[in-house]
Structure 1
Amino acid sequence: MAEPSTDPPFPATVPSARALLKERDYLLFWTSRWTGAFAAQIQSVAMGWQMYAIARATHSVKESSFLVGMIGLAGFIPVFLLTLPAGETADRYDRRRVLLVCFAGEIATVLTLAIATSTGHASVALLLAVGFLFGSARAFFNPANTALGPMLVPRELLPRSIAWNSLAWQTASIIGPAAGGLLVASSPAYAYFTTFALYGVAATCTFLIRKNAQPVVNPGSRWELVKEGLAYVWNQKIVFGAISLDLFAVLLGGATALLPVFARDVLHIGAQGFGLLRSGPAIGATVVALLLAANPIRSKAGLFMFAGVATFGAATCVFALSRNLALSVAALAVLGGADMLSVYIRGTLVQLVTPDAMRGRVAAVSSVFIGASNELGEFESGVVARFLGPIGAALFGGIGALIVTGAWAFLFPALRKADRLE
């Protein structure tokens, strides 16, 4: 199959962001997307900190680091197993209703943790079980959420809405850990109850969406539709290159999964210092998000994406070697800003080249890659830390991310040459 064109599929003049303010359902969707991502990140941070705190009572630093990584594995397993049917579900059923069912599952998991923590019944086994259930809900949530957004705006607003969708998810997903770090400094229970309220807001906004969210279903059996989605991702080299770059770079460079270990046993700064570390990526991501909102990337998008991933890897190495709190926070800020840049470009490129009838399945495959880079990346960091220690694991990941960047720039020239995001 021929390489996809990198020319803009839409007119060069795109309506301003103000036009989106007239789209009631899109505003509800955007609020739900931001709030839901914010809640999910707070929950993830609280579970990681609580797991490490419980494990350290009876285990060594390396063994406790491994158990923190196990939460990532518990969340990734259902994403891996359920993603293909989840993508087909998002392309067959009303996407709004699918999201509401997923929100109900997420609310149930965080409420369980809130009650167990408040009553003193939280345990390693419970955290792993909740991680698995949470991953199951997210497996269906991500494809439906990604595919619903483009249905809520006119075609001429699609490029602008994709950009703001990406900014909403990314800012919330990086600011969320900072807020989670501050909340767990007081009590993990506070973090869980806050997450419960945020999920409630997100579900309410989704419920109030009025536009039709039922996709046009392509003919064929479910297995044929799944195969069609996989073939599309494989043949569209920009799509495959973008999501696989994120997979391997973040899979190796997942230093943020080890922040509880660095805060307690490397930098010796405790729970409040942990909150400061968690705020580092948020600072960088917020600055870059504001810059992108004011000055969207007009050209050389592929090169900017590779530069972002390379900077991510270099900043991870600096963080691994730092013994100073200010330098560590600065390195994490650069890491967060670089991650925001690369993921913003990736998300926009993928959605622009994907037709609506396939968005659920393509988003599902992308979710596997993103889930692997995040949840499985946490597991990888825990395993490597078990043998190399937390410092060695973070340094190993940063160097690995740099190597992956160079390799993908060579293997995917179409991605490297991608130009405009319109």
Structure 2
Amino acid sequence: MTELQSIEQAKQDPLASMRLPEFRFLMAGRFTFIMALRMMATLVGWWLYELTGDPFAIGLVGLSEAIPAISLALYAGHVIDLSDKRSLLLKGVSFYLACGAALLTLSYTLGSTGQNNLLIGGIYAIIFCTGIIRSFTGPSFSAILAQMVPRPLLANAITWNQGVWLTASVTGHAAGGFIIATVHASGTLWVICTLIFIALFSLFQLLPKPASIKAGQQKTLESVKEGLRFVFRTKEVLGAMTLDLFAVLFGGLVAMVPVFAKDILKVGPIGFGWLNAAADIGAIIIILILTFFPMKKNQGRTLFFAVGGFGLCIILFALSRTFWISFTALLLSGVLDGISVVIRGTILQLKTPDEMRGRVMSVNSMFINSSNEIGQFESGVAARFLGVVPSVIFGGTMTLLVVFITWFKAPSLRKMHY
């Protein structure tokens, strides 16, 4: 069998990247780490709403994390390209563990004292710190991927990476609701810290991943500008990032799920956990399908239809007063979001040179990941001024508008296939 035939055979194997031991360790660490983070997000949202009864307080969580994450994103990309990515990941996960331990300490020292203002302030301060850490860890997970997987297997590895992320997310959301109902805040934080420690152990098994650029090769400012120039010059990358940025900014309703669960659908913490998990369940289903039956053509056009359908699902969720209709709307939104995540992630990895992965992934983090937190803040502000239900309808409608505008403004993305 020739080398070319071996490569083609490997590309047809849906388990190809998972056969690499180091990639399995990375996925194990990513799974437990993301599960812990999603469980923490579920806990903090429910905890703050219990303490304040105000949806705006949940929105402020997103702002607290987004400010440092966005502010440091470009610098973080430069640092990632200059650093051993294994070492950087280990440091970031260790700091997250410290933040989890700090929240656990707050729950024991202030949780039953009635000093709610001090407790709420402490929670926001710790979430601010996680935003700093996230600006480094998120892009590092993406940048390290291409250093351990051969390029012919990269598309398969990206699909597995997204599948693991989404599976961890749904597990963290759903389990968070059940665990909160059973052992309350302190017990949930013990579980979170344990999961982060397991993630740290798994990532410790990775081999060193050397820097993409040498120290002193470029000044920091010039390095950052180079990453930005690449993103803005590569229209497919910019279009995919922009489309998802505004769709998540306006269409994300994670911040309002506690309000719908408690005040509108009246389902309590267990129902809240399932609603939080619904979109991720849908995404897992489609990721599994795409792993074994990958898209062969018209990926750009499919991306537009997926994001537009996502906006329609958000509007349906806002109008529903029945738990199962709401759950189904979120489930379908997850299916469509999963499709867009795979397409966008593949475009990004295939178009980015190895020596710029840290900077480009950080720009992506600033565009996409932080849009979740800004979207959370936007949801809180809109809910305060428009009301919870009208604010979610507004978000879904704006998502449809963004898709319509981008369809005409980014023809190269619409026509793209890989």
Q: TM-score, normalised by structure 1?
A: 0.92
Q: Which residue of 2 aligns with 1:380?
A: 378
CA shift for structure 1 position 365: 0.5
Is the 8 Å Cα contact of residues 87 and 364 (structure 1) preserved in structure 2?
yes
CA deviation profile, 1:47-89 (whole Å, cap 9, x unmatched): 1110111002xxxxxxx11111000000000011111110001
Tell me the distance in 1 between the aligned counterparts of 2:221 and 2:374. 26
- SS of 2:82's equivalent in the other structure is coil
Matched, 1:293 2:291: yes
Q: 1:341 to 1:44 in 2, by over 3 A?
A: same
- 1:207 alignment partner, one of 170, 186, 204: 204
The gaps in structure 2 that reach 5 residues or longer are 1-6
CA shift for structure 1 position 23: 1.8
1:156-167 to 2 correspondences below 5 Å = 156-167=152-163
Q: Which residue of 2 aligns with 1:40?
A: 37
Matched, 1:168 2:168: no
The gaps in structure 1 that reach 5 residues or longer are 1-9, 57-63
Q: 1:339 to 1:209 in 2, by over 3 A?
A: same
Q: 1:398 to 1:85 in 2, by over 3 A?
A: same
Letter of the 1:115 counterpart: T
CA shift for structure 1 position 351: 0.6
CA shift for structure 1 position 212: 3.4
- SS of 2:295's equivalent in the other structure is coil
CA shift for structure 1 position 339: 1.1
CA shift for structure 1 position 177: 1.8
Letter of the 2:234 counterpart: Q
Tell me the distance in 1 between the aligned counterparts of 2:322 and 2:16. 46
Q: Which residue of 2 aligns with 1:79?
A: 69
- 2:23 alignment partner, one of 17, 22, 26: 26
- 1:108 alignment partner, one of 91, 98, 102: 98
Q: 1:38 to 1:84 in 2, by over 3 A?
A: same
CA shift for structure 1 position 183: 2.1
Tell me the distance in 2 between the aligned counterparts of 1:289 and 1:340. 6
Tell me the distance in 2 between the aligned counterparts of 1:331 and 1:191. 28
Structure 1 runs of 4+ aligned residues shifted over 4 Å read: 10-13
Letter of the 1:324 counterpart: T
Matched, 1:241 2:239: yes
- 2:195 alignment partner, one of 198, 211, 215: 198
- 1:182 alignment partner, one of 178, 194, 204: 178
Q: 1:104 to 1:342 in 2, by over 3 A?
A: same
- 1:151 alignment partner, one of 144, 147, 172: 147
Tell me the distance in 2 between the aligned counterparts of 1:38 and 1:326. 25
Matched, 1:95 2:85: yes
CA shift for structure 1 position 153: 1.8
Tell me the distance in 2 between the aligned counterparts of 1:172 and 1:333. 16
Matched, 1:132 2:122: no
Tell me the distance in 2 between the aligned counterparts of 1:159 and 1:288. 16
CA shift for structure 1 position 211: 4.6
Overall identity of the aligned pairs, in %: 37
Task: State the number of aligned residues.
Answer: 404
Q: TM-score, normalised by structure 2?
A: 0.92
Aligned residues: CA RMSD: 1.8
Is the 8 Å Cα contact of residues 308 and 341 (structure 1) preserved in structure 2?
yes
Tell me the distance in 2 between the aligned counterparts of 1:340 and 1:267. 26
